[in-house]
Structure 1
Amino acid sequence: MIVEKIVTNIENMEKEEIEKHHIEKVYLESADLVKRIQRVTTDHGKEIGIRLKEHRDLVAGDVLYMDDKNLIVIDVQSDDLLVIKPRSIKEMGTIAHQLGNRHLPAQFEGDEMLVQYDYLVEELLQDLQIPFEREERKVKKAFRHIGHSHG
């Protein structure tokens, strides 16, 4: 089977609609969410080719296939993350500036800043005394590096 477009996202479906389907999952690393072309295997052993015509990243919950009885849905494996919890706008600005200088992609959930684990960032947070925790957590979308040069 080759998937060329995303049917919907499971978050946009009614609970009753979801419950009447058998669900197979495709577990991806967050870095694989940016790949428009890839071969994956469901948790039931079914091989699927993904070749998206649309220029978009995959997102947790994307439905690759749906019929009257079955759904095949993207799920994301947990990442090793630093969950940064600044106490003030000054701390947020300080760490955002430092991470920006390192060109590290970040995501935000509520008042938390999420970055992929890096021991140098962990040391920086300790030095700056900015609260953080190291956690295994699922993210909904990929950490995307933004192309940039200082030239």
Structure 2
Amino acid sequence: MIIEKVITNVNDMQEEIKKYHIEKVYLESGDLVKRIQRVKTDHGREIGIRLNDSKDLMAGDIIYMDEKNLIVIDVLADDLLIISPRTLNEMGTIAHQLGNRHLPAQFEDNEMLVQYDYLVEELLEQLNIPFRHEERKVKKAFRHIGHHHD
């Protein structure tokens, strides 16, 4: 089976999702940006993904649907630093430091999420900015923003 598009996301299905049998494809967050890949569902079914559009996959995306079955993308947990600045000054300081390192970040509520890096952990300790180290699923891939210095 070759998948060429995302049908919808489970978040858009509400109660009707309960009537389907669900197979999952577990991906690392970095694989969410890949247009072409071969994957296997948790039921052992091999699937080729060759997406036509440039939109990244997201947790909960439904890539196959029939009357009874869904195949849904799920994301494996990432090793993350969850940064919780107390003030705007702390947020600006750590954002500037991470930006200088070209580290991609995501934001959920009042938290900044970055992939684990022991140097960033040491920096946060030195700056006395609150953080915790945990495994957590993210909804989308960490994406580097295209930029170069002149």
TM-score, normalised with respect to structure 2: 0.99
Q: Does 1:150 pair with 2:149?
A: yes
In structure 2, distance between residues paired with 1:145 and 1:76: 19
**What corresponds to 1:13 in structure 2?**
13
Unaligned runs of 5+ in 1: none
**What corresponds to 2:73 in structure 1?**
74
Once the two structures are superposed, what CA deviation does each residue of 1:44-95 show, in whole Å capped at 9, x if it has no partner? Answer: 0000000000111000000000011000000000000000000000000000
**Counterparts of residues 2-151 of structure 1 (less than 5 Å):** 2-15=2-15, 17-151=16-150
Secondary structure at the aligned position of 1:140 is classed as coil
Displacement of 1:11: 0.3
- Give the aligned residue type for 1:71: L
- Give the aligned residue type for 2:137: K
In structure 2, distance between residues paired with 1:67 and 1:100: 44
Query: Identity across aligned pairs (percent)?
Result: 75
TM-score, normalised with respect to structure 1: 0.98
Unaligned runs of 5+ in 2: none
Displacement of 1:14: 2.3
In structure 1, distance between residues paired with 2:35 and 2:55: 7
